[in-house]
Amino acid sequence: MKRRSFTAALSLALGPLPTLSAPSKDEARAMTVAVVPQFRAEEIHRIWAPLLARVAQETGQPLTLVVPASIPAFERAMLAGEPDFVYANPYHAVMGHRAQGYIPLVRDSTLLTGIVVVRADDPIRSVAELDGKTVAFPAPNAFGASLWIRALLAEREKIRIQPAYVKTHSNAYRSVLAGLSAAAGGINLTFDQEPPEVRKALRVLMETPGVPPHPLAAHPRVSAPTRSAITDTFMRLMTDRGMRELMNDIPWVNPVPADYARDYKPLESFGLDKYVVNSNTP
Amino acid sequence: MRRLGPWMPQRLGPQLVMLTTLAMLLAIGGHAAWVLREQSDRLASGLKDHAQALAQNLAVSSAGPLVQLELDRIEDLLMRASSFPDVTDLRLVDPAGRVLSQVKRVPGAQPERVFNSVPTTSSTPPAGEALASVETVDGVDKMVAWAPVVAGTRLGWIRAELSTAELEAARLQAWRTSWYAALIAVLGSWVLVQLFLRRPIEALQNAHGFALQLDHARGRRLEVMSAPLEIEDLQRALDNASVQLEAQRRDLEVTLEKDLRLEADFRVAKQTALERSQFLARMSHEIRTPMNAIIGMTYMALKTPLDARQRNHIDKANRAAQNLLGILNDVLDFSKIEAGKLRVEAVPFRLDDVLQDVVDMLAYRASDKGLEFLLDVGTDVPATLVGDPLRLLQVLANLCSNAIKFTEQGSVVVRVTQLEQDANHITLDIAVRDSGIGLTQEQQQGLFQNYSQAEASTTRIYGGTGLGLAISRALVELMGGRIWVESQPGEGSTFRFECRFGVADNAPEHHGDIPGAIAGPRAWRARESVGAPALAPTPLLEPAASASAIEPVDSLMLVGTRILVVEDNEFNQELAIMVLEADGAVVEIAGDGEQALQRLSCEPGFDAVLMDCQMPVMDGYIATQHIRQRPELAGLLVVALTAEVSEEEHQKILDAGMDDHITKPFDPPAMVAMLAQLINEQRLAKA
């Protein structure tokens, strides 16, 4: 599965690459939209492909979906400024803004909240008790479920934990349930998507302060009218029933225009870079 | 089959139903058990295979995710696999027994993830082996399969738990099917029994009930119900038995009634016979007493001087009385024969004495008719025999009397020859041959029958009761012999009889030579028989003269004797006085036994007592017993006077202690002679 998604991402990425080497000549050229591979590639395709096709149709701007093989690959591409648009987590938004000036365009209005869960029957009562214990996270740099939490645990709670990266939120939760980890980092959104028996078996020990969730950001080279057209189109598509359902899966339930200064700039002060596990090294 | 067991009903119908039901149940039960076992084995092994395959598949597909600890993917696998049939629980267990992922499914509901990492018994893998077996989980049987998850090393175990409910359901279904089959079989057998065996069983029960009260059926018929052959036959047999039983019962009743009637008749007859014989005895006594007087009185009268005419009349009266006595004796004998009361005794006696008596009795009649009366006794005939001399005499006298009666001229010969002899017995042939008119063949027929004479006219011509031969035949037969006649008309007749006697060890006391005390007074002249020279020792007697035969000698035999006559009848008292006094005796009279005893105690010196047996106040027997108890009267001669002549009477006389007896009506000379002899002997003994 992993292999397949990688292949798919590759083929999609290869297409626009020649054009990337010669950017901003023609607005009609297909722009790339890289989506952070937080989910399985096929899932991402299922949601984004029809959505982008629609947006392209509405705006007249061809869009190509790019799903990098891994999050680091995505980060590398983003830091390199390759995709015209990125869909990434808030920290990526900060990273992209800092490196290439990516401008967040649309985000959901519901704030992203990281959570730390333990087994419901675990006697643990405070986060401090997790000191020295293994905590499962989906990935090192997953923002809400990992980075944001680890930063908070270290900076605010002053504890050291032993992180274990188990690829997905579900796996992180199950790691706790299987007794492999004392706690797991996740986000309320994914937690809420878990089946009831999973949620019942877990207890939320800690919630992070809310952060504006994943934005769609545009590279500064994308013209402002295109940016605004894209933003408007996404917003307008909420009225389309089919599209809205797809956007709910992003998840954008109630998409609102994003503003970097307001939404993401505060994150810069948390020194999140310290907690990024640098996998950039080739 | 009394009963097979306490559980077995007694009646045939229920027994059949029960037995067929049992047989059906056994068969179906056995079949069901076999099928059930087969089926459940097959199902169990199918389920096992299924569980193993599932566990194996899951183990293989979860190896990769497990390496990466991708529990969500494993869970996904388990969730999807849980939709397979019968799956109730799937889990992945790490080598320490920790459940990494678990999905449960209640049949008919959505699968459910279960998170319980604490090791439990059911999450502990078996000793390192892939395995599938039925285990009891939470009280329910489950098929549990374990398969190792291997990727280089053993990473954990897949445990697949499958419901055996389907198995159980199949078993239950099989059970239910068996029960239905059993139920159908039982109902079927019941219906079959009802349809086909109900009638026969009813018939059998009916027959059974009928048989039980066959005793009281009284010919009631059994309605034959249609049933199998044997039962129908049984019913017919019972019906038949009932009818026959009734018939037999009726017969029996009739027979019983007849028997009862016969018995009553017999009782009446017996009573009648008894009364008759009592009557006869009484009559005998009543007749003999006056007869005694007549004979005695005429006898005495004949002793007085009479003219010829008077003598003739009285003599005829005397003879008529004698004849009458003979007839009376015949009638009495015959009635005794008929009553079966006649007995013969077996005592030693001299044949010559008997023959002499015959001669004594009849010689004068033969000589009256001018007949020769001859005796011819074989030399080998023993002098002494054992038998009944009186009866022999009676037969001989009868035959000779007849011969004399029916012979007008010639002779009457009595011939005695010995037929055979062994150590103890001798058979004599005694023939009485006459030269009389003879008998035709027809006349001979029934000659010895009761009341018969050769012709009815014979009785008219010759007189007689016609009982003589019948009595003779009865007596001969009683003495173990037979009697017959050989005759041709005009050529005389021979009446013969064979008779069996005992042989005496020693001769009895010889009382009576012919010239002895009794026969002494009679002068008989013997001469050699011309016709029978070979019979030398046999005296051939011929009466010298009839007149002199009755004429007593002048010597008085009882002179000097005192005799007490005990007699209640006045005629007889008088007669006895006359007879005895005529011979010189002093005679005293006593009216009964008591008077006699008084006289005897007051007046001793009696030589003899003539004791009548039947008397009022005290009879002769008792009186004699008293006499015999008195020592002062020891040796007193007591002679009975009795009308009875039976042995019974004779014995009674001896038992009472009497010395001898004289039969009434008595022959005066004989009585006198006997008394004289007894007194002489007594005196000699005393001297």
DSSP codes, chain A = -HHHHHHHHHHHHHTTHHHHTS-SS-TTSPEEEEE--SS-HHHHHHHHHHHHHHHHHHHS--EEEE--SSHHHHHHHHHTT--SEEE--HHHHHHHHHHT--EEEEEESSPB-EEEEEETT----SGGGGTTSEEEES-TT-IIIIIHHHHHIIIII----EEEE-SSHHHHHHHHHTTS-SEEEEEHHHHHHS-HHHHHHEEEEEEPPPB--PPEEE-TTS-HHHHHHHHHHHHHHTTSHHHHHHHHTTT-SSEEE--IIIIIGGGGGGTGGGG-------
Interface contact B98, partner A, CB < 8 A: yes
Res B545: pLDDT: 36
Average pLDDT over chain B reads: 79
pLDDT tens sequence across B201-212: 888 888 888 888
Helix (H) or strand (E) holding B416: strand B411-421
Q: What is the pLDDT averaged over residues B266-277?
A: 82
pLDDT band at B526 (very low <50, low <70, confident <90, very high): very low
| Distance separating alpha carbons of residues B217 and B242, to the nearest angstrom | 7
Res A104: pLDDT: 95
Say if the ipTM goes beyond 0.90: no
pLDDT band at B479 (very low <50, low <70, confident <90, very high): confident
pLDDT for B480 beyond 80: yes
Among the ranges given (B240-254, B323-337, B372-386), the one the predictor scored with the smallest mean pLDDT: B323-337
Query: Are B72 and A119 a contacting pair at CB < 8 A?
Result: no
Q: How far is CA A208 from CA A148, B217, B670, in A?
A: 8, 114, 183
Asked if B454 contacts B437 with a C-beta cutoff of 8 angstroms, the reply is: no
The SS3 call for residue B154 is strand
Helix (H) or strand (E) holding B451: none
pLDDT band at B197 (very low <50, low <70, confident <90, very high): confident
| Distance separating alpha carbons of residues B438 and B486, to the nearest angstrom | 9
Q: Which residue has the higher pLDDT, B283 or B610?
A: B610
Query: Are A174 and B72 a contacting pair at CB < 8 A?
Result: yes
Q: pLDDT > 70: what percent of chain B?
A: 87
Q: How far is CA B502 from CA B478, B479, B586, B648, in A?
A: 14, 11, 44, 22
Res B58: pLDDT: 92
Copy the structure tokens of residue B335: 């009635």
Res B614: pLDDT: 81
Dihedral of the CA atoms B33, B36, B40, B42 (nearest 10)? 110
Please, what's the b/e burial string for B26-60 (b: 16 or more CB within 10 A of its CB; e: otherwise)? eebeeebeeebeeebeebbeebbebbbebbbbbbe
DSSP conformational letter for B304: S
Helix (H) or strand (E) holding B384: strand B384-387
The SS3 call for residue B419 is strand
Q: CA B401 from chain center: how many Å?
A: 47
Rounded to the nearest 5°, which phi and psi values hold at B446? Answer: 70, 20
Neighbouring C-beta atoms of residue B406, cutoff 10 Å: 20
The SS3 call for residue B463 is coil
Q: What is the pLDDT averaged over residues B244-270?
A: 88
Residues 201-260 of A with CB under 8 A from B: 201
* Start-end of H helices in B117-228: 165-192, 198-212
pLDDT for B529 beyond 60: no
Interface contact B117, partner A, CB < 8 A: yes
DSSP B477-532: HHTT-EEEEEE-TTS-EEEEEEEEEEEPSSPPP----TTSTTTTTS--EE---SS-
Taking CA–CA distances from B92, the nearest residue in chain A reads: A178
pLDDT for B523 beyond 60: no
pLDDT tens sequence across A9-47: 443 433 333 333 334 444 568 899 999 887 888 889 999
pLDDT for A99 beyond 60: yes
Q: What angle do CA A50, A52, A56 make, to 5 degrees?
A: 115
Asked if A38 contacts A193 with a C-beta cutoff of 8 angstroms, the reply is: no
Res B137: pLDDT: 80
Neighbouring C-beta atoms of residue B312, cutoff 10 Å: 11
Q: Is the pTM of this model over 0.90?
A: no
Taking CA–CA distances from B104, the nearest residue in chain A reads: A197
Res B272: pLDDT: 84
Copy the structure tokens of residue A267: 């994150």
Cis peptide before B489 (omega within 30 of 0): no
Asked if A128 contacts A160 with a C-beta cutoff of 8 angstroms, the reply is: no
* Interface with A, mutate which of B62, B66, B72 (most A CBs under 10 A): B72
| Distance separating alpha carbons of residues B137 and B143, to the nearest angstrom | 9
Helix (H) or strand (E) holding B638: strand B637-642
pLDDT band at B270 (very low <50, low <70, confident <90, very high): confident
Among the ranges given (A108-117, B544-553, B572-581), the one the predictor scored with the smallest mean pLDDT: B544-553
Interface contact B75, partner A, CB < 8 A: yes
Asked if B149 contacts B155 with a C-beta cutoff of 8 angstroms, the reply is: yes
Q: What is the pLDDT averaged over residues B263-268?
A: 90
Of A123, A119, A156, A112, the closest CA to residue A136 belongs to: A119
Q: What is the pLDDT averaged over residues B30-43?
A: 82
Interface contact B68, partner A, CB < 8 A: yes
Tokens 């990125």 sit on residue? A86
Q: Which residue has the higher pLDDT, A88 or B36?
A: A88
Interface contact B69, partner A, CB < 8 A: yes
Res A102: pLDDT: 95
Instruction: Enumerate the residues of chain A whose CB falls inside 8 A of the CB of residue B112.
Output: 197
Query: Are A166 and B70 a contacting pair at CB < 8 A?
Result: yes
Query: Are A175 and B113 a contacting pair at CB < 8 A?
Result: no
pLDDT for B257 beyond 80: yes
Res A216: pLDDT: 94
pLDDT for B466 beyond 80: no
Copy the structure tokens of residue B376: 């011819």
Res B122: pLDDT: 67
The SS3 call for residue B625 is helix
pLDDT for A80 beyond 90: yes
* Interface with A, mutate which of B69, B79, B105, B123 (most A CBs under 10 A): B69
Query: Are B72 and A170 a contacting pair at CB < 8 A?
Result: yes
B681-687 long-range Cβ contacts below 8 angstroms, 24+ apart: B682/B607, B682/B608, B682/B635, B682/B637, B683/B607, B685/B635, B686/B635
pLDDT band at A134 (very low <50, low <70, confident <90, very high): very high
- Sheet with A31-35: strands ordered across: A63-66, A31-35, A85-87, A216-218, A103-108, A255-257
pLDDT band at B123 (very low <50, low <70, confident <90, very high): low
Copy the structure tokens of residue A220: 């500064």
Residue B64 to chain A, least CA–CA distance (Å): 11
Residue A173 to chain B, least CA–CA distance (Å): 9
pLDDT band at A65 (very low <50, low <70, confident <90, very high): very high
Q: How far is CA B223 from CA A171, B236, B239, in A?
A: 96, 9, 8
Interface contact A18, partner B, CB < 8 A: no
Query: Are A177 and B98 a contacting pair at CB < 8 A?
Result: no
Res B465: pLDDT: 60
Among the ranges given (A137-146, B99-108, B131-140, B549-558), the one the predictor scored with the smallest mean pLDDT: B549-558
Res B552: pLDDT: 39
Copy the structure tokens of residue B198: 């109900």
DSSP B210-268: HHHTGGG-TTPPPPPPP--HHHHHHHHHHHHHHHHHHHHHHHHHHHHHHHHHHHHHHHH
Residue A122 to chain B, least CA–CA distance (Å): 12
Rounded to the nearest 5°, which phi and psi values hold at B620? Answer: -65, -35
| Distance separating alpha carbons of residues B221 and B395, to the nearest angstrom | 67
Instruction: Enumerate the residues of chain B whose CB falls inside 8 A of the CB of residue A168.
Output: 70, 72
pLDDT band at A279 (very low <50, low <70, confident <90, very high): low
Interface contact B70, partner A, CB < 8 A: yes
- As a 3-state breakdown, chain B gives helix, strand, coil percent values, each rounded to 5, of 50, 20, 30
